[in-house]
Structure 1
Amino acid sequence: MNKYLIFTTAILILLGNVNCSKTKKGPAQIQEALNVVEEVPENEISEIEIGKNPADFVPKGYVIFDTIYGDLNKDKIEDCVLIIKGTNKSEIVKDEYRGELDRNRRGIIVLLNKNKGYELAVKNYDCFSSENEEGGVYFAPELGVEITKGKLFVHYAHGRYGYWRYMFRLQNSDLELIGYDASSNHGPTVLTETSINFLTRKKIVNENANPNIDEPEMFEKKETKINKIKLLKLSEIEDFDKLEVSEE
């Protein structure tokens, strides 16, 4: 009987060792398991990054305010830029003279056309003020966005006071500010014209030495070098109304 018990115990111990060898892993096996990277199937990519229609990229709480088409990456295919606007009811106010005004801010979404759908390039949901801001004794600047020769232009028209515009180019996984132009006017008379190239760091100012409205304009050109600065990215601009570049 004692021999039988000893034999049975030995078999159980042997089986236990075999099972342990199957479940326990050595240091090399553990490290190999940690190095395994799980691959995400292509059909699980977020719709925020890739979508069939531009409207797929509009976030909740926003609507499309304007749509602009043009080639931004020089592949001869029209890309799409959406100007979006918030829909927060608390931003709708009543003005004593103008009535009900929607003061929700606006933003921009830049989409690259990939034939089978659109790919998100840049997003900035709240960088523009509403179209119903106060202009004081004059109307507020009017925002316009367009694509020309592969560049994105953000243009502000201010009637008799002139205009200013920002030029962006697609590079470094964003749209970077590479140029700025402005015209300061007094009615039909141009007082100063400013042009900045942030790539060459060149600033040109044409100042009217004869600002009298009844006399011909006489411009004096002044060219200077601006300090080397990091190019501004469209996605990082918090508020275009507070963006100052002319004195850089």
Structure 2
Amino acid sequence: MNKKYSLLVTTAFLFLFQSCNYSNKNQTSTEKEKNSVKEENASEIVAPKPQTGKPINDFIPTGYKIFQEIKGDLNKDGVEDCVVIIKGTKKENVITDEYRGKLDRNRRGIIVLFKKNGNYIQKVKNYDCFSSENEDGGVYFAPELDVSIEKGKLYVHYGHGRYGYWTYTFRGKNNDFELIGYDSSENSGPIINSETSINFLTKTKVTKTNTNENAESGDEVFEEKKEKIKVDQLIRLSGIKDFDELETES
């Protein structure tokens, strides 16, 4: 082999070696970039997204509208929750009364929403547990429904004017709201004839009866009676079909 041929072979070998070395380095760099991108994408996929709720309107079922909104803290976390009273919108339940004119007799329901991260999460729903606000009370007017929140409890109150009232007290527990109390008053105008208070947690019923037949407002003389009642299971708000037919005693 002459010197000129040997020099050509050596030059070709060096060129081939450098080309392979550059290719390997470039491939390694490209693989690192690809791996880096994969790691970034994997990080984006694995990272948990914050769970957010929805605005109030998203919880209103088809065929219903918002009748009333009540705000208050129901789970004692310092955040204002919301109770929504909804009302059906079926046209066939809108009637014309001979004396009262057009009346919407669609029933009402309740949705309890807890607020979290600025939006709401549904806790309880019961779409038809309340009668309409336009019921016929016969000789008397129909009682008026009032729902309120106080000290973490939910109150469903029926006011019957001069004839008295009755109130159901609910407390959030077991992924629902349980009936823990019932209070009522039977009146004759300003005079209280009797009062009833039931504590379903202690299974105790207290009845106060006015024994002064000639009593005026404030002159009532009450005879008190305490008794134990049977409570097998607390009534849940989600399971009440009709408050008008709700039995508080077994």
Q: TM-score, normalised by structure 1?
A: 0.78
SS of the equivalent of 2:196 reads: strand
Q: What root-mean-square deviation, in Å, do the aligned CA atoms of Structure 1 and Structure 2 show?
A: 1.7
Match of residue 38 from structure 1: none
Q: Note if contact 2:191-2:216 (Cα within 8 Å) is conserved in structure 1.
A: no
Match of residue 224 from structure 2: 221
The amino acid across from 1:242 in the alignment is E
Of the three residues 156, 160, 183, the one matched with 1:154 is: 156
Instruction: State the 1:214 CA deviation.
Output: 3.9
Distance 2:161 2:213 in 1: 18
SS of the equivalent of 1:220 reads: strand
Greater gyration radius: 2
1:61-210 alignment, distance < 5 Å: 61-210=63-212
* Structure 1 outlier segments of 4+, above 2 Å: 211-215
The amino acid across from 1:226 in the alignment is I
Q: Note if contact 1:190-1:211 (Cα within 8 Å) is conserved in structure 2.
A: no
Instruction: State the 1:115 CA deviation.
Output: 2.2
Match of residue 213 from structure 2: 211
Q: How many residues align?
A: 202
Q: TM-score, normalised by structure 2?
A: 0.78
| Structure number having the greater helix percentage | 2
The amino acid across from 2:155 in the alignment is F
What stretches of structure 1 of length at least 5 have no aligned partner? 1-41
SS of the equivalent of 1:196 reads: strand
The percent identity for this pair of structures is 62
The amino acid across from 2:240 in the alignment is I
The C-alpha deviation readout for 1:105-127, integer Å capped at 9, x for no partner, is: 00000000012321110000000
Instruction: State the 1:202 CA deviation.
Output: 0.8
Q: Note if contact 2:190-2:216 (Cα within 8 Å) is conserved in structure 1.
A: no
Distance 2:97 2:172 in 1: 40
What stretches of structure 2 of length at least 5 have no aligned partner? 1-47
Q: Note if contact 2:53-2:117 (Cα within 8 Å) is conserved in structure 1.
A: no
Q: Is 1:244 aligned to 2:247, yes or no?
A: yes
Distance 2:235 2:196 in 1: 19
